[in-house]
């Protein structure tokens, strides 16, 4: 019998209420922010470079500006206009040169960005989660295949499959990448659970397709949401047996 802390038990109770009697055959797992940390050394060095080589002098404003550009390009550019990550970075740096006075070594900035995709460290609960979960785990990510493969090889993680935006020329939250994930996993939407840290990119689009959502809120900032919320992947290391979510207390 597994012993659960009260918070973990509550999380599973909410999940069971959300997915009553559902047979789950696959877990779809977001990568950046869910499996790997966004606040890592290369990103911090990149932010420092922005602050010292552009008109963006406040860390919060710089992060909001760059993150907003990333989300806009991911949303606006798909299908024939889809941008690979390196192309997207070049586009963002060019915008920052023109609109925010960015100067300096743009190649160095690009290298820092690229290293963040590969070398961002795992959260401590990821490997135990992979080791304990009996269901196949499929990583769904906006990162390019080249970089996600390098990152996973470095971390010695082997998921059941990888679904990259590059494969369908569409980033999350576009539905094409979620449709591809279901195809790769060989399951219906009702047989899959999407675990991610973003309501906009992960939870809402998955829910709209009928995929069961679980929000990973590591900082405990989300309140009163109509979806199951967990604080760590450890909360899902449970009696996930025979393709069904269940809980023993």
Q: Mean pLDDT of all residues in the chain? A: 88
pLDDT of residue 19: 64
**pLDDT for 14 beyond 90:** no
Same domain, 131 and 32: yes
Same domain, 167 and 229: yes
- Do the domain assignments include residue 1? no
Q: Tell me which residue of 125, 129, 149 sits closest to 193, measured CA to CA.
A: 129
What distance in Å separates the CA atoms of residue 134 and residue 80, rounded to the nearest whole number?
Answer: 38
Domain of 31, in residue numbers: 6-37+122-246
**pLDDT for 6 beyond 70:** no
Please report which confidence band the pLDDT of residue 133 belongs to, taking 50, 70 and 90 as the band edges: confident
Same domain, 199 and 165: yes
Same domain, 62 and 33: no
CA angle 152/158/162 to nearest 5° reads 75
pLDDT, mean of residues 189-206: 96
What distance in Å separates the CA atoms of residue 196 and residue 54, rounded to the nearest whole number?
Answer: 32
pTM, two decimal places: 0.87
pLDDT, mean of residues 222-240: 78
Q: Total structural domains in the chain?
A: 2
């Amino acid at each position: 019998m597994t012993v659960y802390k009260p918070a973990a038990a509550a999380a599973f109770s909410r999940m069971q209420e959300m997915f009553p009697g559902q047979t789950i055959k696959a877990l779809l797992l977001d990568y950046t922010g869910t499996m790997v940390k966004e606040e890592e050394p290369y990103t911090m060095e990149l932010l420092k470079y922005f602050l010292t080589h552009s008109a963006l002098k406040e860390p919060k404003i710089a992060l909001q500006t760059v993150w907003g550009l990333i989300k806009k390009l991911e949303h606006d550019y798909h299908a024939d206009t889809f941008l690979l990550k390196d192309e997207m970075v070049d586009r963002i740096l060019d915008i920052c040169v023109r609109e925010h006075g960015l100067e300096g070594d743009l190649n160095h900035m690009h290298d820092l960005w690229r290293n963040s995709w590969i070398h961002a460290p795992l959260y401590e609960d990821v490997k135990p989660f992979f080791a304990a979960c009996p269901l196949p785990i499929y990583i769904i990510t906006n990162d390019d295949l080249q970089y996600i493969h390098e990152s996973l090889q470095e971390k010695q993680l082997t998921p059941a499959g990888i679904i990259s935006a590059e494969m369908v020329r569409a980033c999350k939250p576009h539905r094409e990448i979620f449709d591809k994930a279901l195809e790769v996993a060989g399951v219906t939407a009702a047989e899959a659970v999407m675990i991610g840290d973003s309501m906009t990119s992960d939870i809402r689009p998955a829910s709209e397709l009928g995929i069961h959502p679980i929000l990973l809120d590591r900082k405990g900032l989300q309140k009163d949401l109509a979806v199951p919320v967990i604080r760590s992947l450890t909360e899902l290391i449970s009696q996930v047996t025979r393709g069904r979510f269940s809980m023993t207390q």
